[in-house]
Amino acid sequence: MTAPVYLDCDTGIDDALALAYLLASPLASVVGIGTVSGNVSAAVGARNTLDLLSLAGAASVPVAVGAHDPLVGSFGGGSPWVHGENGVGEVVLAPSAASVVAESAAEMLVRLARLYPGSLRVVAIGPLTNLAEALRLEPALPSLVESVTVMGGAALAPGNITPVAEANIWHDPEAAALVLAADWDVTLVPLDVTMASVLEEHHRQVLLSSPSAVPRALGEMLGYYFRFYEGIYGRPCSAMHDPLAAALAVGAVQPALAPVVRAAVDTSDGPGRGQTVCDMRGLYAGYPPVSGARCRVVLSLEEDFAPHLVETLLGHFERPVAEPAGSLVAEPV
Ligand code: RIB
Ligand code: CA
């Protein structure tokens, strides 16, 4: 049974892997994509998303440009030292013939939530500005969606953009605070689990040697990403932040430990700005239930994620594609 998915992203390199993963997953049907400024501007993220969709043979998936600036302040220019100037590791994708749709990302999210009442899965892998705007447009949004999964935050782990803040939350703390305070259950996929889900060079070589253009393009993008993360891990590899959030959102990967806790976001202008303040004091008692807690914080997984990611990508993009009658050879896409 495939679930309708709305993906909100700042297409960067791991966003690209998350999108390719969702297109490849038999559990997901991507019904709409919204972009937001983060790794790159919302407009550049939309360009990257359109081009990857086209390469993947999914150009019909609608893409809406979302918020350029956060709720407070303005877009800071992106993270070229992590994702490249173009956001996808300086890999040049063939330009898609498709264009973005006229509606905003927030308008798309509200429209899709009404179109798929009770079944739309929201996967947010960038700053949360569009989700906050969608909550303003449609206050009943929490009652319309099936689930909300957010790649962001850090519960017990350190931050990555400041000592305590993770990038997606730090880029728009006010939006993140509104999303965590809304009347829905949020699954948070924080650095605690994403930094422990590492893709190694041998995984990347498998992607690079694929007969399909999509895994090869992802492998090329990861070359740039690995150079950044080598400075953190001490070897060529990378975290898999966004594809892990996507896999958890569609139920393809199961958490081993994911307590439901109270969580808030520091929106001060002090050193804690952008921190996800998760009440993890149940740690020593096995995280007993907490009344009023709505935030499920994924801390660890049942199994290693990287093999599943690679197998899912290759299984889909290397599948023989039925050729029109009369042709002799089925070519992988
Ligand atoms: O902190 C990691 C997150 O920030 C990922 O979603 C990455 O793509 C960036 O958006
Ligand atoms: Ca992202």
- Over residues 88-106, the pLDDT tens digits come to 999 999 999 999 999 999 9
Mutate which of 75, 162, 241 to test ligand 1's pocket (most atoms within 8 Å of Cβ)?
Answer: 241
In single-letter form, the type of residue at position 244 comes to: L
Q: What share of the chain is helix, strand, coil (3-state, %, to 5)?
A: 40, 15, 45
Ligand nearest to the CA of 153: 1
Distance, CA of 189 to CA of 129 (rounded, Å): 17
- Over residues 267-324, the pLDDT tens digits come to 999 999 999 999 999 999 999 999 999 999 999 999 999 999 999 999 999 988 766 5
- Which pLDDT does position 333 carry in this prediction? 46
Give the H/E segment covering residue 189.
Answer: strand 186-189
The three-class DSSP label of residue 253 is coil
Q: Which two structure tokens, joined as six digits, stand for 78?
A: 């992106």
Ligand 1 atom showing the smallest separation from residue 39 Cα: 10
Distance 323 CA to ligand 2 centre (A): 35
How far from 24 is each of 21, 65, 157, 286, CA to CA, in Å? 5, 23, 30, 36
Residue 91: closest CA among 243, 241, 215, 217: 217
Indicate whether residue 159 lines ligand 1 (CB < 6 A). no
Ligand 1 atom showing the smallest separation from residue 191 Cα: 1
Indicate whether residue 266 lines ligand 1 (CB < 6 A). no
pTM above 0.85, yes or no: yes
Ligand 1 atom showing the smallest separation from residue 83 Cα: 8
Distance, CA of 246 to CA of 21 (rounded, Å): 8
Mutate which of 19, 149, 151 to test ligand 1's pocket (most atoms within 8 Å of Cβ)?
Answer: 151
Ligand 1 atom showing the smallest separation from residue 166 Cα: 1
Distance 11 CA to ligand 2 centre (A): 6
Distance, CA of 93 to CA of 247 (rounded, Å): 25
Distance, CA of 84 to CA of 62 (rounded, Å): 25
Distance, CA of 332 to CA of 216 (rounded, Å): 13
Q: Which two structure tokens, joined as six digits, stand for 65?
A: 């440009």
Distance 324 CA to ligand 2 centre (A): 38
Residues around ligand 2, an ion, CB closer than 5 A:
10, 15, 125-126, 242
Residue holding tokens 């990403």?
A: 225
Distance 218 CA to ligand 2 centre (A): 15
Cα angle value 12/189/40 (rounded, 5°): 20
Residues of the chain with pLDDT below 70 are: 322-333
Distance, CA of 30 to CA of 122 (rounded, Å): 10
Distance, CA of 30 to CA of 33 (rounded, Å): 8
Indicate whether residue 15 lines ligand 1 (CB < 6 A). yes
CB 35 within 8 A of CB 58: no
Q: Which two structure tokens, joined as six digits, stand for 191?
A: 């650095």
Catalytic site positions? 10, 241
In single-letter form, the type of residue at position 97 comes to: A
